Amino acid sequence: MNPIDRSDEILATTIEFKEMKKDLYESSARKCRDEAGIETFSFLRDRECEQVVILERQRAAGSGKGRSSFPYLPPWDWKKVESIRSAIFQGIRPNGPGAEDVIALENSLTIEQACLRYFLYSLDAAVEPREKAFLNRMIWESKERMALLSDLGLQFAVSGKPMPQSPEMGITT
């Protein structure tokens, strides 16, 4: 495949994935009962919206010129991620997760895994440094999203149940 066609294809597929994730996260945030889940899905939706705009603009700029390039994407908002993780692990909340929340989480992890597989597969065939850098960035972001969703899944698993007490250690005579 021609490197020009390949970069166009990667950009188009990335946009498709991001559109799907944006819609999924929007729906998940709207239906979610758990406050930390709402915050997590909303953050991920906003991130996808931001990136779709940037990628679409880049694709439009490259069309007709026979070459799409890979745009700069803003850095991950670590302060927001830490705020979300604090909300996730703050303890049991009155509005714990419902069945819809768990389904949304599972669907989110599934689509992130599909993205990760696509980006890893594409990276194996990448030859241009810009393409490799873009794919590595997408791989890193997919892993970060999966880590955040996994944290939410841990909270969902223990929500509504008391945290297990650690057994007392000691020697008795």
Higher pLDDT, residue 161 or 3: 3
Portion of the chain with pLDDT greater than 70, in percent: 82
The residues, ordered by sequence, that sit 6+ positions from 105 with a Cβ below 8 Å of its Cβ are 28, 37, 97, 149, 152, 153, 156
Q: What is the mean pLDDT of residues 23-33?
A: 94
Q: Which amino acid is at 102?
A: V
Counting every residue written for the chain, the total comes to 173
Portion of the chain with pLDDT greater than 90, in percent: 59
93, pLDDT greater than 70:
no
pLDDT of residue 33: 87
Q: Which residue shows structure tokens 């996260």? A: 25
The structure's pTM equals 0.84
117 confidence band (pLDDT: 50, 70, 90): very high
Q: Which of 17-21, 91-95, 116-120 has the lowest mean pLDDT?
A: 91-95
Terminal-to-terminal C-alpha distance of the chain: 75
69 confidence band (pLDDT: 50, 70, 90): confident
Q: Where do the domains of the chain lie? A: 3-158
pLDDT of residue 68: 60
**DSSP summary character for residue 70:** P
The CATH number for 3-158, chosen from 3.40.50.1370, 3.10.450.50, 1.10.150.20, 1.20.1260.10, is: 1.20.1260.10
170, pLDDT greater than 60:
no
